[in-house]
Amino acid sequence: MSSLTLDARTAALSRPARLRTGGAGVRSGAARREAGRDEALKDLVLRARDGDAEAFGGLYDHYVDLVYRYVYYRVGTHPLAEDLTSETFLRALRRMPAFNWQGKDFGAWLVTIARNLVADHFKSGRYRLEICTAELLEAGVPQEGPEQAVLEAMTNRTLLEAVRRLGSDQQECVVLRFLHGLSVAETALIMGRKTGAIKALQYRAVRALARSLQDDPRLA
């Protein structure tokens, strides 16, 4: 994502290192680190809302991968995903002065902007939604051998095909919850639903996936 560029106002932003949580430790220590991370992010959000360009650069660094992964899954091509990700942050920058902190993850707000941009893009009628399965199946871990690679690729492809057969709401719920790792509350915010509705939608989607995969002869 280093090729992503914002407009002239953001091109000169200095980008502090990503915020990190600590590694393994006692539960209380992990909770303190998590609380510290949340406070640091809140501080960045409030400073960015007040016009601090460096703070907005920190938010860009922390959330750009999340936004890009979401957009790329929906549009299927890297150049378009990069363009829409850049536009997401440009819109966020323009709207920052009016941003109202409600204690929710700032990333959920960014993904909501991205979601609307993707919807507007496809409503324009110029493009058709495609998922590049080959790119989604890029190897990320070492394989034990060619036979294992074929089996794992086939299984992953089968799962992706099953996800694509879900209804649009169930598909989006599965992608947000399991591909991007968003919480139920964040998914509810993005999809404009209540948390109870997201839990029910997730339950039905998982049941539908289980039935679809159970009946697939390739997994027999």
pLDDT along the chain (220 residues), means of 10: 44 42 58 76 90 93 89 84 95 90 78 90 60 41 50 62 85 83 82 90 89 67
At 82 the pLDDT is 93
Single-letter code of the amino acid located at 46: L
Distance of CA 214 to the CA centre of its chain: 28
Residue 114 confidence (pLDDT): 93
**CB within 8 Å of 3: residues ≥ 6 apart:** 82
Please give the span between the terminal C-alpha atoms of the chain, in angstroms, as a whole number: 39
pLDDT at 146: 52
pLDDT at 20: 46
Token readout for 173 is 């719920």
Q: Which pLDDT score is estimated for 37?
A: 77
Q: What is the DSSP string of 8-44?
A: HHHHT---PPPP----S--HHHHHHHHHHHHHHHHHH
Question: What is the predicted pLDDT for the residue at 73?
Answer: 76
Ordered alpha helix ranges (H), the chain: 8-11, 27-49, 53-75, 78-95, 106-123, 133-136, 146-164, 168-174, 184-191, 195-214
| CB of 106 closer than 8 Å to CB of 182 | no
Residue 148 pLDDT: 54
Cβ atoms < 10 Å from Cβ of 175: 19
